[in-house]
Amino acid sequence: MARKVSDAGILEEPRGSGKWWVRIFHQRHRYKRRAASKGHARELREEIRGAIRKGQWPPKPEPRRALFDELLEDYREAKRREGKALMKYIARLLVGEIAQGRAALAARGHFVLALGLSHSLPEPAPCLL
């Protein structure tokens, strides 16, 4: 049986169940809303069509409010990551200094002497790795 033109976009799924739906296609998206009855589905369809004409469809979701506990957890996580990055940087510096060894420190001393500056260099800090 063919649907009436006035019932376009209104369907009962599954058939004979009494569950009515409004189906709207807008800007290449399909929206489906549940209605209490066939009459309510018609009213809902007209309400949605009016909102489309006014540019108020689809409705914008309200932003979810952040709870203090979530903000605190995010802050702690960011600080934990920041600490890890700092420790990795320090470890790379220490490993690089060990790999260069005394030769690099001596070369740096010769450069300082070439500039005519004091040749005293501080002793490298002991490595705890």
pTM, 2 dp: 0.45
Instruction: Give the DSSP letter string of the chain.
Output: -PPPGGGTTEEESSTTS--EEEEEEETTEEEEEEESSHHHHHHHHHHHHHHHHHT--SPPPPPPPPPHHHHHHHHHHHHHHHHHHHHHHHHHHHHHHHHHHHHHHHHHHHHHHHTTS----PPPPPP--
pLDDT at 119: 46
* Residue 80 located in a structural domain: yes
Domain count, the chain: 2
Is the per-residue pLDDT at 128 higher than 70?
Answer: no
Residues 23-71 pLDDT 10s: 999 888 999 999 999 999 999 999 999 999 999 988 888 888 878 888 8
- Do 71 and 110 lie in one domain? The reply is yes
Residue-number span of the structural domain to which 24 is assigned: 5-54
- Do 47 and 83 lie in one domain? The reply is no
